[in-house]
Structure 1
Amino acid sequence: MSQESQHGRWSISDSEEEDNIIPPTPEKRSFTPSIKPNLESKPSKITTILKQKPEQSPNVNVNLNVKEPSAPFIRSEARQAAHGNQINPVKYESNPSPALKRKRETDEAGWNLSSSDDEETRPSVPKDEPKKVNVSPKKKKTEHTRPPSPHGACYYKEEPADFFETNLSMNDMYRFYLNKVTGIQKKFNTGALHIKEILSPMFGMLKESVQFNYCFDIPWMVEQYPPEFRDKPVVIVHGDKREAKARLIEQAKPYPHITFCQAKLDIAFGTHHTKMMLLWYEEGFRVIILTSNLIRADWYQKTQGLWMSPLYPRLPVGSPGLAGESPTNFKRDLLEYLEAYRAPELADWIDRIKQHDLSETRVYLIGSTPGRYQGPAMEKWGHLRLRKLLREHAHPIQNEERWPVIGQFSSIGSMGLDKTKWLAAEFQHTLSTLGRAEKSLPTPQPQMHLIYPSVENVRTSLEGYPAGGSLPYSIQTAQKQLWLHSYFHGWHADVTGRSNAMPHIKTYMRISPDFTQLAWFLVTSANLSKAAWGALEKNNTQIMVRSYELGVLYLPSAFNMSTFPVEKDVFSGSASSKGFPVPYDLPPHRYSSKDQPWIWNIPYTQAPDTHGNVWAPS
């Protein structure tokens, strides 16, 4: 079976189920920099086949049996400076700029792409591992006091002096914040947060912390803590195995206050993708659930989001175990999520949470943990957990079929040969659920808009083509689901000043036909993939989830509202506003006839990016 697209004619395999694939070792992906242009390198077979300009519609036959490059595939950006056999997608036309590399480590020779391609890639280089950089003779190496840029010495701009001046006078009713972005107008960083501010004494006198994440640059992470907290105990919860785990531990050797907790990943292609901070203060306890990895590039020129809990006070000694629960059962659900790790390293933290009052929480926790679940356990995790909460706590809406669903994400997994395999079946069913209202007749499903950056979005971004390294939609996955691209809308975020800061945030919502009212809103680590959200099996009697994910769901009922009004001026600073700060423009902008989704492992060589470079994976 074959289909036409702007990438040419693609042959479609009859078998694309993840379970039919022999899994490689699920190690992290990554890239390393090279400042010197490599204009004489031989293109790979993929590069040779797909050499045409992205904006054109070449008549190309893509053979699914193309042999992949025989390089190891390393997913963790912070750990590969000494490795050879690397891909170098960025070629330099004029100005030096980021060079991106991304690999996946396997035990076998060669590498394979997971069809559940929801893992992220972002660069970072640890201080304790020397970085080999080839500098063009005409350019002198720039000295930096910060950790070296993974994209080269000329990549990171210095933040202005007032960049870290925290101003949370904006409406914090929802406690939903964007990250600060370097290179945008100051007003668009008002009320936004940087990791240095999150960990600062402004929010509490820190005693200990836990960092759950996917990618780590430990030296950089340590520097984000203020000096007075820099030796406080930190537990790192990760999913690394074998060589990647050894490199992570090696990074931490200079820091005796850091210990590790390895998340169990027993299902192929699963990842520890959750991003959360547990912060224990002298004054109490706080939870941060976010979308950023703990690496420099994620806090630089990408759009990220986070939910910051209130400061939870300690309960009186002798309080019962169920004390301090919120109307959203957040305490119970957080404890259940942590207990799912089955990790002794988290036992003390579970006890600490039990000793604090979380009753002020107004969001619901949506988690994924690896496993196959049946019976009542099916509704504990993944998209069935979201469906349960929308059924029980969302308000029914008149003419709800006219209220579209929006999904926005930074990576895409294998959806199947047509929309009925997962997306428009079980997943859209979940996103379309609103209350318990019984329907005498079947109602049509609402429209679904999927927001994912186009090639032009990436090319014209603050980072240029290297921003696409954090948008890992592969040609191997895309060619099997051309039907999906008809759903796509571009990334436009003028309302937040972040149109040129590519999204690593992931959000899902149900919105009114005029895009002024929200039925619900979710910010999460979960991309658009079955690995993240789970997929039904055995005639819908079982759900299988591959990865750890975590997010928070905003429901109007928890705020004594029927719907959330959409905030028209996100950075108005109005403390009385009840408007929800949706982090991109509404209504979404459908792809034009010339637009195409960003695919990270094919070349874009006809039009240079904002740094004068082209993208040529080899």
Structure 2
Amino acid sequence: MSQASEHGKWTVSSSEESADDEQVDREEPSSSSPQQAGREATAGPRYSCSEARKAAHKRKASPLKCHDGNSPQKLAPAQKKRPPQEGLGWCLSSSDEEDSLEGQTGEADGAARVKREDRCCASKEVASNELPQSHKSAEPSDKVPDTWDLLNGGNSFRFFLTKVKGIKSEYNSGALHIKDILSPLLGTLVSSAQAKLDIAFGTHHTKMMLLCYEEGLRVVIHTSNLINEDWYQKTQGIWLSPLYRRLPPGADGSAGESHTNFKSDLINYLMSYNSPTLNEWVEVIKQHDLSETRVYLLGSSPGRYQGNEKEKWGHLRLRKLLKEHTTRVPDQDLWPVIGQFSSIGSMGADQSKWLCSEFRDSLAALGNNAKTLTNHEVPIHLVYPTVDNVRQSLEGYPAGGSLPYSIQTAQKQLWLHTYFHKWSAETSGRSHAMPHIKTYMRVSSDFQRIAWFLVTSANLSKAAWGAFEKNGTQLMIRSYELGVLFLPSEFGLDTGYFQLKENLLSDEPVSSFPVPYDLPPEKYGSKDRPWIWNIPYTRAPDTHGNMWVPK
């Protein structure tokens, strides 16, 4: 590595990506050493962040307590006049003006190298995750397996949830914290990487760690930003690669490829940044054996793509993988698509504009069969927290700062809400840990079998997944996204599906897939409303006795 790459710019990627119709807020980059970055990641809200997260920080710092039954009362400085729209529902006034688009770009130029002599200090500071004193009780050590046990205990999928403070220790069995990912048990860390953004109105939303050790290389693809709140009381997802050993000297750069082409796909993704510093990481990857990888890489990279280039990224990349590497199953047209996410972009005037046309056609693909599939009949279930989900969560209303669905977008697509289902995760003990994880899958009509499963950074938006332009001849993507796709064929299953692991804590066969929320999903009731971050909720207090007035 060159000396210039030892200290790069660090950033925290935004949770929003509805850039096509809302103001997009991105964290401004800051130039710092890895040690400084670690301190900033755990010390509190010193970064510029999304408006929704800013509101959550404000309400945590200055909560509005319930007073005389339903009136909010500020505990700190004088409160401003409360906006007129309030309650568990939300206002659909036509006077709500959209926020203007801003062409800011988040940049994190190149890679940040952790010097070997500073490794222990840096890892300690990044992993400390300072918590409020009332939440610092340790989990019983005899109930939670250590990192080594988790990575070598038969988890063939290498898919993990993050640990959550405030739930029973048994529900954290098999979960990881950032300090586990950075544990010396995984290797002697030498360096790690961050990346940048070049296109306006998008976000660098990928959450990935490239960890280079003395012993080899590891890739971690996850859904958590490097801030305390994301590793504290939220449901997040992690895919942790095997330790990739260095190839013998003189080995060809194409050696060490997996059956899933993970190595070449990762290299292509990194090269899409056009960053000289990341090209150094490409050379590091070429020197390692990634042949053990059993997942497919699925990314998005900002740009406009035509011809064969369209199938490299976004939902068309998923469509291509599903056609080439899955098989038809009986009655597959009755198998619904399930999408679960933490943010929502503009879907258009009705479902035919994107959701139930190009997007569903991609997610409903199974097998490369000449028969025309009736994808337009495949059911879609969308899992997104209700107002009560957020109100009753471990964090209370501030958890909604990570669910930045705005009133400006919601009021233009009321049709979308008929697809919504509640967030429920009783079987994993995480119903009250709001999701920042994003998952998509195809499941049987009896919700017992899974044709494929994807964990990704991509929320439900055209900016993340791409949208057709020029009568379908061009795919436009605005954001960087990254996820991994689990297919039954790569795990020795010729049935065409995984069995659902109905209880994440049980000792079911390793071929049973651990979906992180309850199936079948429960449809919104007549009184349920999706969480909207930028309107007040003052009719009922949250789990901390507080109200929500974001402005």
TM-score interval for Structure 1 and Structure 2 normalised by the shorter chain = 0.7 to 0.9
**In 2, Cα distance between the equivalents of 1:367 and 1:293?**
17
Tell me the SS of whatever aligns to 1:273.
coil
Q: Secondary structure at the match of 1:360?
A: coil
Question: Which residue identity lines up with residue 316 of structure 2 in the other structure?
Answer: L
Report what 2:505 is aligned to: 571
Question: Secondary structure of the residue that 1:306 maps to in structure 2?
Answer: strand
Contact 2:19/2:101, CA 8 A, preserved across alignment: no
Whether 1:610 and 2:536 are equivalent positions in the alignment is: no
Is 1:62 aligned to 2:121, yes or no?
Answer: no
8 Å CA contact 1:265–1:272 kept in 2: the answer is no
Q: Displacement, 1:191?
A: 1.1
* Counterpart check, 1:436 vs 2:368: yes
Q: State whether structure 2 residue 203 is matched by structure 1 residue 271.
A: yes
* Residue of structure 2 equivalent to 1:119: none
In structure 2, what residue type is equivalent to 1:308?
A: L
Asked if the contact 2:140/2:169 (under 8 Å) is kept, the reply is: no
Deviations 1:532-552 (A, max 9, x none): 000000010000000000000
2:174 maps to 191
For the residues of structure 2 that align with 1:205 and 1:307, how far apart are their CA atoms? 20
Matching residue of 2:157: 174
Deviation at 1:265, TM superposition (A): 2.4
Amino acid at match of 1:181: V
Pairing partner for 2:81 from 37, 43, 48? 43
Q: Return closer, same or farther for 1:551/1:24 CA change in 2, 3 Å cut-off.
A: closer
Q: 1:385 aligns with which of 311, 317, 323?
A: 317
Where do 1:553-572 residues align within 5 Å? 553-561=485-493, 562-572=496-506
Match of residue 273 from structure 2: 341
- 1-structure distance, mates of 2:272, 2:134: 40
Structure 1 residue 320, shift from structure 2 partner: 1.1
SS of corresponding position for 2:405 = coil
Please report how far the alpha carbon of residue 43 of structure 1 lies from its aligned counterpart in structure 2 after TM superposition.
Answer: 3.5
Q: Distance in 1 between matches of 2:445 and 2:546?
A: 40
Q: Which amino acid aligns with 2:446?
A: D
Q: Determine the structure 2 residue equivalent to 1:112.
A: 100
SS in 2 for 1:391: helix
TM superposition shift of 1:560: 2.3
1:164–1:300 Cα change, 3 Å:
farther
Distance 1:443 1:414 in 2: 22
CA contact (8 A) 1:328 1:364 kept: yes
Whether the aligned pair in 2 keeps the contact of 1:455 and 1:597 (CA below 8 Å) is yes
The separation in 2 between residues aligned to 1:22 and 1:559, in whole angstroms, is 41
Q: How does 1:194-593 map to 2 (within 5 A)?
A: 194-210=177-193, 236-237=194-195, 263-266=196-199, 268-439=200-371, 442=374, 444-561=376-493, 562-573=496-507, 576-593=509-526
Deviations 1:83-140 (A, max 9, x none): xxxxxxxxxxxxxxxxxxxxxxxxxxxx63689xxxxxxxxxxxxxxxxxxxxxxxxx
**What's the counterpart of residue 141 of structure 1?**
none
Displacement of 1:174: 0.5
| CA distance in structure 1 between the partners assigned to 2:381 and 2:373 by the alignment | 25
User: Which structure 2 residue ranges, 5 or more long, are not aligned?
Assistant: 1-17, 28-48, 65-72, 104-126
Structure 2 counterpart of 1:599: 532
Q: Return the alpha-carbon distance in structure 2 between the equivalents of residues 355 and 199 of structure 1.
A: 22
Match of 1:104 in 2: none
**CA 1:578–1:423 in structure 2 vs 1: closer, same or farther (change >3 Å)?**
same
**TM-score, structure 2 normalization:** 0.80
Letter in 2 for 1:613: N
Q: Deviations over 1:535-582 (max 9, x none)?
A: 0000100000000000000111112212111112212256x5211000
1:43 corresponds to which letter in structure 2? K
Change (3 A) 1:607 1:559: same
Within 1, Cα distance between the matches of 2:92 and 2:365?
41
Taking structure 1 as the reference length, what is the TM-score of the superposition? Answer: 0.72
Partner letter of residue 569 of structure 1? N
Cα distance in 1 for partners of 2:80, 2:286 equals 59
Corresponding residue of 1:160: 139
Tell me how far 1:525 sits from its aligned partner.
0.2
* CA distances 1:51-92 after superposition (whole Å, capped 9, x unpaired): 2x215xx8x6613454x8xxxxxxxxxxxxxxxxxxxxxxxx
Task: Please tell me whether the aligned partners of residues 405 and 509 of structure 1 are also in contact (alpha carbons under 8 angstroms).
Answer: yes
Give the distance between the partners of 1:382 and 1:491, measured in 2 at CA: 25
SS in 2 for 1:62: coil
Matched letter for residue 503 of structure 2: D
- The CA deviation at 1:42 is 2.8
Letter in 1 for 2:161: L
Give, in angstroms, the shift of residue 147 of structure 1. 6.4
Query: Which amino acid counterpart does residue 88 of structure 2 have in structure 1?
Result: P
Using the alignment, how far apart are the partners of 1:18 and 1:183 within structure 2? 34
Tell me which protein shows more helix as a share of its residues.
2
Larger mean CA deviation between 405-414 and 153-162 belongs to 153-162
CA contact (8 A) 1:265 1:547 kept: no
> Do the aligned residues in 1 keep the contact of 2:22 with 2:101 (CA within 8 Å)?
no
Say if 1:148 and 1:552 are closer, same or farther in 2 by CA, change over 3 A: closer
The corresponding residue for 1:76 is none
- The secondary structure found in structure 2 opposite 1:373 is strand
Say which SS state the counterpart of residue 345 (structure 1) adopts: helix
Give the superposed CA RMSD.
2.4
Q: Is the 8 A contact 1:170 1:571 kept in 2?
A: no
The residue type equivalent to 1:178 in the other structure is L
Contact 2:306 / 2:474 at 8 angstroms: preserved in 1? Answer: yes
Whole-Å separation in 2 of the counterparts to 1:324 and 1:303:
33
SS at match of 2:254: coil
Q: How far apart in 2 are the matches of 1:174 and 1:518?
A: 14
- Give, in whole Å, the separation in 2 of the partners of 1:570 and 1:25: 36
The residue type equivalent to 2:309 in the other structure is A
Whether the aligned pair in 1 keeps the contact of 2:266 and 2:297 (CA below 8 Å) is: yes
CA deviation digits over 1:330-349, x for unaligned, max 9?
A: 00000000001111111221
Following the alignment from structure 2 to structure 1, what is the Cα–Cα distance between the partners of residues 305 and 442?
A: 27
Tell me by how many angstroms 1:493 deviates: 0.4
Contact between 1:175 and 1:308, CA under 8 Å: does it hold in 2? yes
Identity over the aligned pairs, expressed in percent?
A: 58
Specify whether residues 482 and 24 from structure 1 end up closer, same or farther in structure 2 by C-alpha distance, changes over 3 A only.
Answer: closer
- 1:160 Cα deviation from its structure 2 partner: 3.3
**Alignment gaps of 5+ in structure 1:** 1-16, 69-110, 116-144, 211-235, 238-262
Looking at structure 1, the residues matched to 390 and 230 of structure 2 have their Cα atoms a distance apart, in angstroms, of: 15
Q: Distance in 2 between matches of 1:557 and 1:517?
A: 14
Do the aligned residues in 2 keep the contact of 1:170 with 1:572 (CA within 8 Å)?
no
Distance apart, 1:264 and its partner CA: 3.1
> Residues of 1 paired with 2:336 and 2:22: CA distance?
38
